[in-house]
Amino acid sequence: MFLAIDCGNTNTLFAVHDGEGWRAQWRTATHSTRTADEHAVWLSQIMEMNGLSFGDISACVISTVVPQALFNLRNLSRRYLNAEPLIIGEPNVELGVQVRLPRPQEAGADRLVNALGARMKYDGALLLIDSGTATTFDVVSSDGAFEGGIIAPGVNLSMKALHEAAARLPRIEIRQPEKVIGKDTVSAMQSGVFWGYVELIDGLVRRTRVEYPEDLTVIATGGVASLFEGAVSSIDHFDSDITICGLLEVWRLNGGGAD
C-alpha cells in the first residue's frame, strides 16, 4: 500500500491507497516540531482503528510547504515504514508537469501536484481553487501545462488578522449567516468573511475566464472549500482528493506504484 502525506501550514493529511482506491484519510494539526516518534504513535493508533498497520505500507510520498516539518516526516517514513520517501520539490523527483512561466522555479511544488492530480481526473482546461492558509487559483491548460494563477489570503488567515488587528473583534467560526446585513458584531463579521470570500471566488473566476482563451472547468479542493458549496456559483466540482491523487501519480511517474 501507498501512504501520501500532504503537510500544509494548518493541517497535515495522511492517506492510504491500496492499489484500487483510497482506504482511509486522516487530518492532524500541523506542528513543525512534532517528532517522528510522536507522528508514529498517533498514526499507528489511527491506522489500527481502520484495520491497517505500518507493515501494510511499502511506499510513501511527502509534500510539505513547511520546511521545518520535513526532517521528522522523512524520519517517520524511514524508521517506521521502512520506506525511503519521495519528497516533492527535490531535484530527483519528476512531477511530469510543464510549467509555462518566465521563471518556472517559482511554481510551488504543491501547486504542480494539484495540477497533476486534477489532470488524472478531469479533461480540458482547468481552474483549480485550493482553499487553505492561502487560497490559490491555478490554471492548467488542456494539454496539462501549468499556466500560472492567483494567490489570495486564506479565509482562516483573514479571520485571524481581523481578530488580532482589532482589539474588540472576537474570534468567530466560519459559517453562512442567515442574512447579509449583520445585527451584531459576530454576525456582521461572519457575513463579511463568508460572503466576502464567495464574491472573491466568483469574481476571480469570472475575470480568469475572460482573460484565458480556453473554456475552464472550475474545481475546488482544500480543507475549507466545502464550506462554500452551494453558495459559490462558479465552481463546477468540489473534490477533496486532488492533492493526494497528484501524490499517487508522482509515485507512479517515478517508477513506483501502489501495491
Q: Which residues are catalytic?
A: 110
The number of C-alpha atoms within 13 Å of 42 and in the hemisphere containing its C-beta is: 15
What is the SS3 assignment for 156?
helix
Find how far residue 79's CA is from the centre of its chain: 26
Using DSSP's 3-state secondary structure scheme, residue 40 falls into: helix
Using a 10 angstrom Cβ sphere, with 0-12 exposed, 13-18 middle and 19 or more buried, the burial of residue 199 is exposed
* Strand ranges (E), the chain: 2-7, 11-17, 22-29, 59-64, 86-87, 125-131, 134-140, 146-153, 216-221, 237-238
